[in-house]
Amino acid sequence: MPRRNWGAIEMAKAIREVYGEALVKYGRDNPDVVVLDADVSASTRTALFQAACPERFFNVGVAEANMAAMAAGFASVGKIPFINSFATFVTTLALLPARIFGSYSKLNVKFMGAYGGLSDAYDGPSHHAIEDVAIMRALPNFRVYVASDEALTDWLVKHAIESEGPMYIRLSRDVFPSVYGSDTAFEDGNGKVLRDGKDVTIVACGVMVGFALEAAKALALEGIDAKVVDMFTIKPLDEELLLVSARTTGAVVTAEEHSVVGGLGGAAAETLAAAGTLVPMGFVGLADCHAECGSYKELLSKYRLDVSALVAKVRETVGRKG
């Protein structure tokens, strides 16, 4: 297992590993859970489920659209299908079945996006997922979540099994900074306040959540008191938490391993604008461009998705407060 040292915080397990284990943990004894994969089970780690429950595992070959439409069929006869491939293929090739069968028909399909963001770093932009959240968020009836650490990943799998309806869950190939204890309770639609602050709110998701906590520490040293929210529930968005945070801190910086177009930042801006809560906003994300190949850490740094980028953006945004 790769170990990665994110500054002060170290984690043992890649998100994909946690995901594969959670599938087994919650799916083994539930006869309705079926898992489909498109010739990447060694990568997504659904191979673990295949080993545990071979009769409920279906490898369809490299055929993501076929897999997603098959999942709709499974769902229509009462099964709980999880479809698996790289996030970019799940949200592009499998998009038509997502729309007609998940979004429109509300079938109980679970779209699992392995290798979210730039985490399939060396494979390059053809394998990065930088617009998956924007795509899936635009689909009526789909719920959209971004895993930010091990404990949340585990809960998301459990939640997907227990809660009926189409979902997209973005995972990662890599190891994330740990932010939650294993006994943390999560609720659908409720973001998590991880740090209180009075000058600005960093609304983050995914790997950026751990970075936001680091950034808040650095900002505290220069006298900026940042609140940090894990907005893992992109849809439904925790609008109340967002609005209250914006009003009490007077500035919002969103942070996501995703294009700045249409993802968490877009969702937050829509909510704040609709409520007339016009506070200075900053957006940390990929600047409407494709990245390149390289190590994950190098990419996050070069494309300004790291702690220093967050600190700079918060500073600049706070500077615009009246």
Catalytic site positions: 64
The nearer residue to ligand TPP, 90 or 229, going by C-beta atoms, is 90
**By rule CB under 6 A, what count of residues binds ligand TPP?**
7
63 binds ligand TPP (CB under 6 A): no
- x/- mask, another protein, residues 277-296, rule CB under 8 A, reads ---------------xxxx-
Q: In sequence order, which residues have a C-beta less than 8 Å from that of residue 250 and are 6 or more positions away?
A: 199, 200, 279, 280, 321
Written as six digits, the tokens of 231 are 């907005």
Written as six digits, the tokens of 199 are 């000058």
- x/- mask, ligand TPP, residues 69-88, rule CB under 6 A, reads ----------------x---
- Write the single-letter amino acid at 4: R
40 binds ligand TPP (CB under 6 A): yes
Rounded CA gap, 78 and 204, in Å?
Answer: 35
Q: Phi and psi dihedrals of 210, rounded to 5?
A: -60, -40
Residue with tokens 């043992």: 12
CB atoms within 10 A of CB 278: 9
- Burial of 298 per CB tally in 10 Å (0-12, 13-18, 19+): middle
Beta carbons of 87 and 116 less than 8 angstroms apart:
yes
93 binds another protein (CB under 8 A): yes
Within residues 99-128, the interface with another protein by CB under 8 A covers 122-127
Written as six digits, the tokens of 29 are 């004894």
Find which of another protein, ligand TPP, none residue 299 binds, CB within 5 to 8 Å per kind: another protein
Q: In sequence order, which residues have a C-beta less than 8 Å from that of residue 63 and are 6 or more positions away?
A: 38
Written as six digits, the tokens of 303 are 């494309």
The nearer residue to ligand TPP, 86 or 283, going by C-beta atoms, is 86
Q: Return the residue of 42, 51, 62, 273 that touches ligand TPP, per CB under 6 A.
A: 62
CB of residue 64 to ligand TPP, shortest distance in Å: 6
What's 8-52 look like in SS3?
A: CEEECCEHHHHHHHHHHHHHCCCCCEEEEECCCHHHHCCHHHHHH
Beta carbons of 287 and 304 less than 8 angstroms apart:
yes
Rounded CA gap, 163 and 165, in Å?
Answer: 7
Q: Which residues pair with 253 in a beta bridge?
A: 202, 282
Stretch that binds another protein, among 17-25, 216-224, 236-244, 297-305 (CB under 8 A): 297-305
Stretch that binds another protein, among 9-17, 56-64, 146-154, 156-164 (CB under 8 A): 56-64
Q: Which residue minimizes CB distance to ligand TPP?
A: 39
Stretch that binds another protein, among 87-95, 108-116, 215-223, 268-276 (CB under 8 A): 87-95
Stretch that binds another protein, among 34-42, 191-199, 215-223, 265-273 (CB under 8 A): 34-42
**By rule CB under 8 A, what count of residues binds another protein?**
31
The nearer residue to ligand TPP, 39 or 298, going by C-beta atoms, is 39
Instruction: Please give the residue ranges that form the binding site for ligand TPP (CB under 6 A).
Output: 38-40, 62, 85, 89, 93
Give the binding site for another protein (CB under 8 A). 37, 39-43, 47, 59-63, 65-66, 88-89, 92-93, 122-127, 292-295, 298-299, 302
